[in-house]
C-alpha cells in the first residue's frame, strides 16, 4: 500500500482525536508553525489520516526540556585491587537544540501495514525536518521511545520520580501536556544519581522498550537511528538519535 503525506492544519483537528494526545490537540501549538508540526499519512484516496507523527526543530528553545543522561562513575583503589563501575543518571538539558520525532501513531491494525507505515512516516519526517528551505541548528534528530509500564504504571517512575513528586504523573500530563516534565524537573535532584540505589525494578526498566513499541523502534533503527545515552524522566524510555552522517539500512 502507498501513502501520501502532508502537514496537519486546523481542519484536521477532529480527525486527529484518535491519533494525537488530547492535551496536544487542545493546545494545537503545531498548527502553522514551521518548527513544530504534525505530519499526517493518508492511504491513497482516503480522507482520514492513517498515521501521524509530531516533529520539532530546535527543541527546548522556548522552554527547557529535561532528560536523564546515563553515564558511568568508576570507583578504583589499585592498592586494594578494587575497580567498580556504576551506572549514573544526571538530570539535564543537553539535548536542547536538536530536532525531534515523537508521538508516532497509526490506526493500521494489520501488523505488516502498520510497520510499513511507521517506516514511511519516519522517512517522510526526516526528509521534512532536513528540508533545505529551513534553517537547521543541529544535524541531530532524536526520537524518544515509550518506556516500560505495567498496568499503566512505570516502575522507573515509581522507583525514582515518585519520591520527589507524589502526584499522579498521568493526571499531570493531562493537565499540562508534555510540559509537566519541565515543571516536575524543578523537584528532581540535580546531582548524579547512582543507579544501584534504585529498586531493582527501576534499574531493569532503564532504556527498555515495551513490546508494543518494538515496530516503532525497528523502523527508527532501519533509518539509521542508534540508541543514545539519554532516557526519559517519566518512564526511563530510551532516546534514539540520528546523526547527519548516518545512512538508512537497506
Using CA atoms, how far apart are residues 142 and 148, in angstroms rounded to an integer? 19
pLDDT digits (tens, 9 = 90+) for 212-225: 999 999 999 999 99
CATH of the domain at 237: 3.40.630
> Considering only CA atoms, which of 211, 93, 89 is closest in space to residue 159?
89
229 pLDDT higher than 50: yes
Residue 82 resides in a domain: yes
For residue 28, is pLDDT > 60?
Answer: no
pTM value?
A: 0.88
- Within-domain flag for 248: no
The count of domains in the chain is 1
Percentage of residues of the chain with pLDDT beyond 90: 60
* 242: β partners: 141
DSSP assignment of 47-81? SS-SEEEEEESSTTSSS---EEEEEEEEEEEGGGT
Q: Which residues, including other chains, have CB under 8 Å from residue 225's CB and lie 6 or more apart?
A: 141, 143, 240, 241, 242, 246
Asked if the structure places residue 250 within a domain, the reply is: no
* Mean per-residue pLDDT over the chain, rounded: 88
Which domain covers residue 223, as residue numbers? 3-242
Instruction: Answer yes or no: is 247 within a domain.
Output: no
Any domain includes 154: yes
Q: Residue 125: inside a domain, yes or no?
A: yes
Residue 204 maps to a domain: yes
Tens-place pLDDT, residues 77-136: 777 777 788 999 999 999 999 999 998 999 999 999 999 999 999 999 999 998 877 666
For residue 217, tell me if it sits in a domain.
Answer: yes
Indicate whether 146 pLDDT > 80: yes
Q: Give the model's pLDDT for residue 52.
A: 92
Q: Which has more confidence, 250 or 85?
A: 85
Residue 249: pLDDT above 50?
no
Amino acid at each position: 500500500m502507498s501513502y501520501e503525506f502532508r502537514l496537519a492544519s486546523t481542519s484536521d483537528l477532529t480527525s486527529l482525536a484518535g491519533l494525537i494526545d488530547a492535551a496536544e490537540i487542545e493546545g494545537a501549538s503545531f498548527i502553522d508553525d514551521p518548527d513544530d508540526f504534525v505530519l499526517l499519512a493518508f492511504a491513497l484516496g482516503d480522507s482520514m489520516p492513517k498515521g501521524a507523527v509530531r516533529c520539532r526543530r530546535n527543541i527546548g528553545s522556548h522552554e527547557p526540556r529535561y532528560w536523564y543522561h546515563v553515564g558511568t562513575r568508576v570507583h578504583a583503589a589499585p592498592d586494594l585491587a578494587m575497580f567498580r563501575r556504576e551506572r549514573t543518571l544526571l538530570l539535564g538539558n543537553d539535548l536542547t537544540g536538536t530536532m525531534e520525532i515523537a508521538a508516532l501513531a497509526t490506526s493500521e491494525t494489520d501488523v505488516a501495514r502498520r510497520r510499513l507505515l511507521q517506516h514511511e512516516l519516519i522517512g517522510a519526517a526526516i526528509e521534512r525536518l532536513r528540508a533545505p528551505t529551513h534553517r537547521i541548528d543541529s544535524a541531530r534528530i532524536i526520537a524518544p521511545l515509550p518506556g516500560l509500564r505495567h498496568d499503566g504504571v512505570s516502575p522507573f517512575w515509581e522507583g525514582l520520580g515518585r519520591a520527589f513528586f507524589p502526584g499522579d504523573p498521568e493526571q499531570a500530563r493531562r493537565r499540562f501536556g508534555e510540559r509537566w516534565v519541565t515543571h516536575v524537573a524543578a523537584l528532581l535532584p540535580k546531582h548524579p544519581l547512582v543507579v544501584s540505589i534504585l529498586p531493582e525494578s527501576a534499574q531493569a526498566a532503564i532504556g527498555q522498550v515495551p513490546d508494543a513499541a518494538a515496530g516503532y523502534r525497528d523502523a527508527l533503527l532501519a533509518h539509521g537511528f542508534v540508541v543514545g545515552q539519554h532516557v526519559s524522566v517519566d518512564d526511563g524510555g530510551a532516546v534514539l538519535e540520528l546523526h547527519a552522517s548516518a545512512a538508512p539500512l537497506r
